[in-house]
Chain A
Amino acid sequence: MARVGADMDLLRFATAGSVDDGKSTLIGRLLLDSKSIFEDQLASVEATSASKGYDYTDLALLTDGLRSEREQGITIDVAYRYFATPKRKFIIADTPGHVQYTRNMVTGASTADLGLVLVDARHGLTEQSRRHAVLLSLLRVPHLVLAVNKMDLVDYDQAVFERIVAEFTAFASKLNIPDLLVVPISALKGDNVVARSEAMGWYEGPSLLHHLEHVHIASDRELRDVRFPVQCVIRPKSDEHHDYRGYAGQVAGGVLKPGDEVMVLPSGMTSTVAGIDLFDEQLGEAYAPMSVVVRLTDDVDVSRGDMICRSKNVPTQTQDVDAMVCWMTTAPLRAGQKLAIKHTTRTARTIVKDVQYRLDVNTLHRDLGADQLGLNEIGRVQLRVTQPLLVDPYERNRTTGSFILIDEATGNTVGAGMING
């Protein structure tokens, strides 16, 4: 196994694509060929494959860890796997392709820096691969890889690859995809996964792993607008720290420094940063995604749900939210419905004012006649919230631009929202 340091960089990526396109197999292959699989894990999947009478070791078993997944040979929920090379540490979310489990795919993709869409070379793009590409673009996953898999089953034919790439690029041109790599692979045989394939001399790009190790993620950070949602107030109430009062949170954007003039929202009170603490250290600056405690020079009223920003650069304060919503439960989303909404550290109630349109994931056509969103559907929705939220467009900030919707009766998370600019 590669020697891995504590001070390396982190890339989170998520798989996507239709059922059986080979996502789990690819992750298994990547782990195996990068020597990140332990002997007991490999022995266990070899034994299971043999007992099921398979001709070869089913690498998908390395991530399909639930009993029902192994029985059915499909992925039901996201599996998180970890590996590192001397270049980077990776957190992989291997997501299910089955349409019924789309919400689990969205779970895995929401935090990803890179989305890896697999397509079966024999079948080309399917409705589900399009849906996943749309979701990745709506979730603003900044980097995308299209891996045309099972090239071994089409004789490593360049023409097949080019046809799928052309089809995908035509579709993707209507989406927001800042960075795209296309790569022909065989997850089962390992072609172009860790090393360049000899069977596909016509392909001149990097292997998948090489790309994952080198894709440039530093500039994805949000450093312009200071956003500090307050999680809780730290008041020790001890003799030693009698007067200590700090605001704990995770920086959602920008760079905050002691001495900065700040404004606390929604109150609009202004103050100055007296100090930024991380345990017993006093920091010279804080930026996303650091978890710190901010102290202010004035005794202003600050509590959970408030946001600390720079006075001249504040988010929009509003009770009317216009967002793209991905709906994740069987009972449809309709105008008039009441839900709970969680946005940064603030939870409130909301009523659905209007379902403006539903997005057809195949054609990207906006169905303006739609008045509801069914399970796994995506559409543009207007909400009215009981309290003002402090929002930015999702395209500007993935933290202050996102929210979840919760069904108050069941307590379940039923929707994911991305605020429009």
Chain B
Amino acid sequence: MSTHADYRLTQLDQLEAESIHIFREVAAELERPVLMCSGGKDSIVMLRLAEKAFHPAKLPFPVLQVDTSFDFPEVLVARDNWVDRLGARLVVASVDEAIRNGVVVDDGKTSRNRLQIGTLLHAIEEGGFTAAFGGGRRDEEKARAKERIYSHRDEFGQWDPKNQRPELWSLYNGRLHAGEHMRVFPLSNWTELDIWHYIARERIEIPSIYFAHERKVIARDGMLLSASDAVQPRAGEMVEERTVRFRTVGDMTLTGCVESQADTLEKIIDEIAVARVTERGATRGDDRFSEAAMEDRKKEGYF
């Protein structure tokens, strides 16, 4: 924290203060919160902010992960390290198990990404969670840019973008009816660059795949996908070794990487500062289905 003679806070300190305030409001007002953590950079920054909000006490809520079984192993390692260090309780909701139990139907056509929605909603219902923290940022995508910090979900977990509650000052309204829940986005006002500045400032441990490394990749639909059991070359495609890094992490079948030499935080910050393509535009297959792909998934209950 850098304080100034004129009592101004830097923009990063203001963002941190706002996020901490949100964590505390939710913990104080909503009965059973849970923090949704993918293990990606945004959820890890959320863990750090939650840690700061309640220190020296432990997190007053568990951490929830939706396991798609196509998650990057490096991401799971970073997540486990964090959860262990915080002494938090981890709840894992597995897509495979949801398929086995008939919670969601894998008809062979639906992507893992969409199957996550039913799995997540089931886990929220099962755990009786009334608030779920998500790492979504408004700069990520045009539908997210419209969402409140406290985003109300009906009994079906749906978001109604045309009928959001007014949200004034920092007076959040957490009222719910039985069966409803709140999605809460403490990082709403952070940009991708803010996240990286914060990771650097706080020396936060993040998964190694965010740093440039050698990887076997397949070029598909204008993205570089990591070659693995889940992603195999199709006819006419080649597996090549490139120096890449990830800008976002989702499941392996949909998240692409970018060619990059940025192997330190300083280099990543330099790279992001001059980037000409958004992180989701560059690397997320799930947003490419249609112009309103994110809005449609959010209405159904996506993160």
* Known pairs A1-B273, A235-B57, A413-B167; A218 contacts B142 (CB<8 A): no
Could you tell me if B55 and A279 are in contact, using CB atoms closer than 8 angstroms?
yes
* Among A77, A279, A287, A293, contact of B7 (Cβ-Cβ < 8 Å): A287
In the complex the two chains form, is B11's CB within 8 Å of A63's CB? Answer: no
Query: From B198, which residue of chain A is reached at the shortest CB distance?
Result: A6
- B25:A65 contact, CB within 8 angstroms: no
The answer to whether B274 and A1 have CB atoms under 8 Å apart is yes
Are B58 and A236 in contact (CB-based, < 8 A)? yes
**A82-B139, A82-B189, A413-B167 in contact; A66/B162 too (CB < 8 A)?**
yes
Q: In A1-22, which residues have CB < 8 Å from any B CB? A: 1, 3-10
Is A40 at the interface (CB under 8 A from chain B)? yes
For the complex formed, measure the closest distance between the CB of A262 and the CB atoms of chain B, giving whole angstroms.
19
User: Could you tell me the distance between the alpha carbons of A187 and B295 in the complex, rounded to whole angstroms?
Assistant: 27
Question: B276 and A107: CB pair below 8 A?
Answer: no
B273 touching A4 by the CB < 8 A rule?
yes
Contact pick for B24, options A78, A81, A103, A248, CB 8 Å? A248
In the complex, whether A41 has a CB less than 8 A from a CB of chain B is: yes
Nearest residue (CB) in B for A251 is B17
A110 within 8 A of B: yes
Given A4-B193, A285-B3, A328-B166, does the pair A79, B146 have CB atoms closer than 8 Å?
Answer: yes
- B interface footprint on A39-55 (CB within 8 Å = 1, 0 otherwise): 11100100010000000
Q: Does A290 contact B (CB under 8 A)?
A: yes
Report B-chain residues with C-beta under 8 Å of the C-beta of A79.
142, 145-146
Which residues of the partner chain A approach B53 to less than 8 Å between Cβ atoms? 248, 291
| A residues in contact with B215, CB < 8 Å | none
In the complex, the answer to whether A291 meets B16 with C-beta atoms within 8 Å is yes
- CB distance A8 to B11 under 8 Å? yes
Are B291 and A44 neighbours in the complex by a CB distance under 8 Å?
yes
A236-B57, A291-B24 are known contacts. Are A404 and B18 too (CB-CB below 8 A)?
A: no
Cβ < 8 Å to B, chain A residues 102-147: 103-104, 106-107, 110-111
Question: How many interface residues does chain B have, given as a range?
Answer: 35 or more
Q: How far is the CA of A84 from the CA of B274 in the complex (A)?
A: 12
Q: A208-253: which have CB < 8 Å to B?
A: 218, 221, 223, 231-232, 234-238, 240-241, 244, 248-250
A416 CB contacts on chain B under 8 angstroms: 166, 168
Given contacts A10-B11, A80-B138, contact A281 B164 (CB under 8 A): no
Closest to A412 in B: B165
A411 touches B52 (CB 8 A): no
The residue from A5, A67, A111 contacting B295, defined by CB atoms under 8 A apart: A67
Contacts of B3 in A (CB 8 A): 283-285
A372 neighbours in B (Cβ, 8 Å):
none
Q: Looking at the complex, which of B34-42, B72-80, B117-125, B171-179 is the stretch in contact with chain A?
A: B171-179
Would you call B264 an interface residue if the criterion is a C-beta within 8 Å of the partner chain's C-beta atoms? no
Which residues of chain A have C-beta atoms less than 8 A from B171's C-beta? 342-343, 402-404
Residue in contact with A218 in the complex, picked from B8, B14, B193, CB distance below 8 Å: B8
Task: Indicate if the CB atoms of A65 and B295 lie closer than 8 Å.
Answer: yes
Q: Decide if B57 touches A41 in the complex (CB within 8 Å).
A: no
Residues of chain A contacted by B10 (CB below 8 angstroms): 6-10
Residues in A neighbouring B198, C-beta threshold 8 A? 6
* Residues 219 to 244 of chain B near chain A (Cβ within 8 Å): none
**Residue in A closest to B15 when the chains form the complex, CB atoms:** A10
Task: Determine the chain A residues whose CB is within 8 A of the CB of B161 once the complex forms.
Answer: 66, 76-77
A56 at the interface (CB under 8 A from B): no
Q: Does A289 lie at the interface of the complex (its beta carbon under 8 Å from any beta carbon of B)?
A: yes
* Residues of chain A lying within 8 A (CB to CB) of residue B292: 66-67
Contact with A along B274-288 (1 / 0, CB 8 A): 111110011000000
Assuming the contacts A80-B188, A289-B18, asked whether A406 and B175 have C-beta atoms less than 8 A apart, the reply is yes
A221 to B146, CA, bound (A): 28
Complex-state Cα separation, A80 to B15, whole angstroms = 14
Decide yes or no whether A150 CB sits under 8 A from chain B: no
Chain A residues near B1 (CB, 8 Å)?
278, 281, 283, 290
* B24 CB to nearest A CB, Å: 4
Q: Are A6 and B138 in contact (CB under 8 A)?
A: no
Contact (Cβ within 8 A) B7 A104: no
With a cutoff of 8 Å between Cβ atoms, the chain A residues found around residue B55 in the complex are 234, 277, 279-280, 293
Tell me if B108 counts as interface (CB < 8 A to partner A).
Answer: no
- Complex Cα spacing A286 to B67, Å: 41
Contact B175 A289 (CB under 8 A): no
**Cβ-defined contact, A238 with B58, below 8 A:** yes
Query: B20 at interface (Cβ–Cβ under 8 A)?
Result: yes
Q: Write the chain A residue with the least CB distance to B190.
A: A82
The answer for the CA separation of A106 and B2 in the assembled complex, in Å, is: 32
- Neighbouring A residues of B81 by C-beta, 8 Å: none
- Give the B-binding residues of A (Cβ under 8 A): 1, 3-10, 38-41, 44, 48, 63, 65-68, 70, 76-82, 84, 89, 91, 103-104, 106-107, 110-111, 218, 221, 223, 231-232, 234-238, 240-241, 244, 248-250, 255, 277-281, 283-285, 287, 289-291, 293, 304, 328, 340, 342-343, 345, 347, 398-399, 402-404, 406, 411-413, 416
**A9-B10, A250-B20 given. 5 additional CB < 8 A pairs?**
A66-B161, A79-B145, A89-B11, A111-B169, A238-B57
Ranked nearest first, the 4 interchain pairs of A and B with the lowest CB-CB distance are: A65-B142, A40-B281, A411-B175, A6-B197
Q: What are 6 residue pairs bridging A and B, where the CB atoms are less than 8 Å apart in the complex?
A: A40-B278, A106-B168, A328-B166, A347-B29, A411-B176, A412-B165
Hey, which bits of chain B sit against chain A, CB under 8 A? 1-3, 6-14, 16-18, 20-21, 24-25, 27-29, 51-58, 138-139, 141-143, 145-146, 148, 161-162, 164-171, 173, 175-177, 188-189, 191, 193-194, 197-198, 201, 273-278, 281-282, 291-292, 295
